[in-house]
Chains A and B, each alone.
Chain A
C-alpha cells in the first residue's frame, strides 16, 4: 500500500512561467505522431484540420499506399495540442463512406424518381432552368444559399457566383442561423467582426464568464482551456438554463430562464455601476454612449432581473462582483444567447459588461464568440452574406461597390443590391418571389426553424439544385443533386473562432464522378457566359483573388499566403502584408475599427420572447446540440460510432413533471408536435424542456421551433418558444438518412438508430448501456 502523498499548497501557476499554449501547458506527452512509426505500413500522414466546429483542431489523416484516407492520428497543433473530440476522431470515416454520392442525380419533376445522369446533362438542365426562370421573372427570381462549412475560397466564390454569374441579389448562407447576432453586435460596438482574443488568453484570465455555450459538448477541445484557466486560479461563471458538463463544477452556474439573457446582463451591469466597480477611466478614454447605457441599466435592479430570469438576486450581485472584481476577466458566448429575437442585444449586453469593467484588448481580458461551424468566422467575411461583399465590405456602400466591381471587372450597374436573409428567402419562395434555388453546403430541412414553412417554401420552387456529398434531407427533395468533394479531397482555408486562418490540405483524390464545389460553380458560370471571370483551376487561384479583394479592408487577408499558413500553423487577420505577423488580439492600442477609434456602447432593453407563454403552452422549449452529432446530422448520422453513442433525439425534462426515463412524451408547440423518449434529470430548469436538433422529421426539433427573427441580424429564435408536454403512446422512430436510388444507408452504421430509448445522459449512451 502506498503512503499518503504530501499535500502541496494549491497555489495558482504563475502565468509568466506558463505562457499560453507553449511550454507548461503541455500536450499529452510523447513524441509527435509524425516522428512515430505510423508509417510502418507505408502509410502517409497528411497534416490538416477537422471539418467540424469552429475550434478547428489540427489532425493528421492517415492515407494508405493506394492513396485512400483510412484513419486519423492526433496532431500537435497549438490550437488543440493533439486533443480531439469524438466527432473529430470519426470525421475521416466520411471520406470513403458507402453513402457518398458519386454521380449527379436529376429529375424534371418531383413526382419522378431521381436518376443518375452525366455531369453534362445535369449542368445543361440546371443552366437552362436558370435561364428560363431569370428570363421569365427577372434575375432576382433565382437565389443561392451557401454554407459556413465551406472553405473561405468557396464562400467567396458563392458570393461572386450569385452576383456576377447569376446577377441576383438573393444570396445568403447558413451562418445566418449561427453567427449573425454576434457579428451584428461586433460591428455595432467595434466596427470589426471577430473575437477579440485568442483561445490562449483564456489561460491568462482571472475570471471567465461563459454565456449560452455548452462548451463540453459543442466545443469539447476548448474545455482544456477552461480547466487550464481554473488550474491557474481563474473562477468560472456559466450562464445556461441547463447544468451542462462545464456548469456542473463551475464556481457559479446561473440557470436562468431561456430568453432572459439581456435582463440578466443589464442587472449585472447595474450592480457594477451601483457598487462603483465600473472602470470610469477606461470608459471615458475609449467609449461613446456610456451615459445612455448607464442610465438604461438603472432600470434593471437585481430584484427585477431575478424575477424575469428566475434566479436568486444574490447570484446577480455575486456575478457582478466576481467579474468586475477580477484583474482580468473574459466573457465568451455562443448560440445560447445569440439564437434569439434579441440576439444582437444579448451580445451587446455582454460587450457592455466587458467594456464597462475595462476588460478588453489585454492578455486575459476580453471578449469573444464561439463560432459553431468550422468556418463560421471565415464564411461570413467574404461576400456570401446578403448584405456583404468581400473583405467585409457593405453592398450598400457606393465606394465599396466601386472597389469590388473594379476587382471583378464588371460594371457597377451590373452588381445587384442587398438581398434578404435565409429565412426571409424561404418566405419569398412561398410567395413565388424566388422560383429557383441553388443550395451549397446546407440542409435547411433540418436546420431551419418551423419545418412546415420551410418544406412548403422549397416545394414551391420550380427548380431546386443542391450540392452535397451525402444526400441530405433537403437534397432528397431537389430536382438536381450535384455530388461534390468532402473537405479532405480539396485544399483551402478556414478561419476558426479566434479568427485564425488555418489551411486544410488535400489528403486523397475524390472518387470518380465527384467534383469540387469550385469546379461546379465555375462550370455553371462558364455555361452562363461568364467563363472569363470564373477561370479558377482550384482553391489556390481563388485565394489569390480573395487576398487582393480583401486588401486594405478591415478583414485584411492580403499578407496571408498558403505557404505562410503552412509555416506558421495559422495567422489571425487582419494581416495586411506578407511580413505582418497577424493580429491574434484586437484593441491592444485601445482603438476599434470605427473611424473615431472608440467603442460604441449600445443601449439594450430586454423584451419577452416572441412566442407568448399561455396556460396551454406554459413551458420554454430550448434546442441545441449533443456532442456526438453536428448541425443537421447529414454527416454524423451516418458514422457508426456516433450513431451508437447517440442514436436518437430525446426530450430532457425535470422530474417534477412525473415522467420516467424512456417514457414517450409528446412535446407540443403552436407549430407542431413530436413524440420523443424522456430523459429525466434535475440538471434542467423545471419550466424548461430541451430537444437536440440534429435529426430530421418526424423527429426534428425544428418541427417545433418558431421562425421569428431578430430584426437586425435576422437570426431565428431557436433557443426559446412556448411549449407543453404530455404523455404519449409510442416514441417516434428516427428515419434512415436518405440515399441515392438503389442504395441503402450503410446498415452497419444504422444498427442502433431504431432503438427507442433515450441516451443515458445528454452526452450519449454509456458504454454499459449499449445493445
Chain B
C-alpha cells in the first residue's frame, strides 16, 4: 500500500456518482470519467461500489507488464500512470490483463484511459478529485494512520487473491472488521488462458 493513497469503503458508498462526475472535470481528460461505479446487489439493495485504479505493486502493474508498446509507466511513488499517448497503440492488452477491470479504451482516439490517482493534483499535495468530493468518505485519500484516527477500528486490505495469484495493491479497500481474512478474495480463479486449461 502506498503511504498516502485512496482507501475505498463500499459500506459508506451511497451510489451517488459524484466521483464519476468529478473525474470528468479533470483538465487532463475533461468530459471522460475513469471511475467505474457498479450497483452490486441489484434487485435486493441499493448497494454500490466505486472502482478506481488499484495501482498494483506485486506483481507490479499487470497492465504495464503486458503492454507491447511500453506505454504504461510506473513512477517512483508507485503510481501506475495512464498509457503515454505518444506510445499507446490502443491494443487493449492492459484491459485484458487488469484483474480489477480498470483500464478502458477510448475507441475513437484508439488510446487507453485509466485513473492515474489524479497525478496533476496529488503531485501538488491535493487529494484526487474523486476523493475530494466524495460526499460520504467512501473514497478517502490519506495515510492509513489518518484513516484509522478518523474511523476507529477500521480494517483495510491491500492484497487480493485471484485463484492462486495474490495481487498486492497501492490502493486499499476497507473490509468488515470482523471478517478480515488475508488476502481478500478478489475474484474467480483463472481457469483458461489462450485456450489452455491452467487449473
Which chain A positions have C-beta within 8 A of B125?
Answer: 30-31
Bound: A440/B159 CA distance, A: 56
B18 touches A86 (CB 8 A): yes
Given contacts A86-B17, A223-B14, A224-B137, contact A2 B1 (CB under 8 A): yes
Which chain A positions have C-beta within 8 A of B1?
Answer: 2
The residues in B between 1 and 45 inclusive whose CB is less than 8 angstroms from any CB of A are 1, 4, 11-18, 20-22, 24-25, 33, 35-39, 42-45
B149 touches A24 (CB 8 A): yes
Tell me if A722 counts as interface (CB < 8 A to partner B).
Answer: no
A762 touches B46 (CB 8 A): yes
Given contacts A1-B182, A33-B126, A85-B135, contact A217 B43 (CB under 8 A): no
A4 touches B182 (CB 8 A): yes
Return 17 A-B CB contacts under 8 Å, by A number: A4-B180, A5-B155, A28-B131, A28-B132, A28-B133, A30-B124, A30-B125, A30-B132, A30-B141, A31-B126, A85-B133, A88-B18, A231-B152, A245-B14, A248-B45, A627-B17, A763-B46
Q: Mark A357-373, 1 if CB is under 8 A from B, else 0.
A: 00000000000000000
Q: Mark A85-111, 1 if CB is under 8 A from B, else 0.
A: 110111000000000000000000000
Shortest beta-carbon contacts, A-B, top 10: A10-B153, A216-B14, A30-B126, A245-B14, A761-B39, A763-B15, A220-B135, A28-B127, A89-B21, A86-B21
Closest to B50 in A: A767
Tell me if B134 counts as interface (CB < 8 A to partner A).
Answer: yes
Given contacts A26-B146, A28-B132, contact A763 B16 (CB under 8 A): yes
The residues in A between 191 and 227 inclusive whose CB is less than 8 angstroms from any CB of B are 216-217, 220-224, 227
Which chain A positions have C-beta within 8 A of B85?
Answer: none
Partner of B152, one of A13, A25, A88: A13
Given contacts A220-B135, A221-B135, A768-B38, contact A8 B152 (CB under 8 A): yes
We find that the number of chain B residues with CB closer than 8 angstroms to chain A is 65
Q: Mark A533-563, 1 if CB is under 8 A from B, else 0.
A: 0000000000000000000000000000000
Q: Mark B114-143, 1 if CB is under 8 A from A, else 0.
A: 000000011011110101111111001110
Closest to B49 in A: A766
Closest to B57 in A: A2
Interface size class of A (residues with CB under 8 A): 35 or more
Which chain B positions have C-beta within 8 A of A26?
Answer: 142, 146, 150
Which chain A positions have C-beta within 8 A of B21?
Answer: 86, 89-90, 641, 645
**Minimum C-beta distance from A138 to chain B (A):** 49
Which chain A positions have C-beta within 8 A of B152?
Answer: 8-13, 231
Bound: A223/B152 CA distance, A: 18
A227 touches B136 (CB 8 A): yes
A763 touches B48 (CB 8 A): yes
Given contacts A12-B152, A248-B47, contact A82 B42 (CB under 8 A): no
A767 touches B148 (CB 8 A): no
Partner of A761, one of B11, B15, B20, B58: B15
Which chain B positions have C-beta within 8 A of A245?
Answer: 13-16, 46, 48
Which chain A positions have C-beta within 8 A of B35?
Answer: 767
A36 touches B17 (CB 8 A): no
Which chain B positions have C-beta within 8 A of A2?
Answer: 1, 158-159, 168, 182
Known A-B contacts: A10-B152, A627-B16. Give 18 more (CB < 8 A).
A7-B153, A8-B152, A24-B150, A29-B141, A29-B146, A83-B18, A86-B21, A216-B16, A217-B14, A217-B16, A231-B151, A243-B45, A245-B46, A246-B14, A661-B42, A763-B16, A763-B46, A767-B33
Tell me if A760 counts as interface (CB < 8 A to partner B).
Answer: yes
B149 touches A1 (CB 8 A): no
Tell me if A249 counts as interface (CB < 8 A to partner B).
Answer: yes
Tell me if A511 counts as interface (CB < 8 A to partner B).
Answer: no
The residues in B between 154 and 191 inclusive whose CB is less than 8 angstroms from any CB of A are 154-156, 158-159, 166, 168, 177, 180, 182-183
The residues in A between 422 and 436 inclusive whose CB is less than 8 angstroms from any CB of B are none
Bound: A641/B159 CA distance, A: 34
Partner of B168, one of A1, A222, A628: A1
Which chain A positions have C-beta within 8 A of B146?
Answer: 26, 29
Tell me if A682 counts as interface (CB < 8 A to partner B).
Answer: yes
Bound: A26/B143 CA distance, A: 13
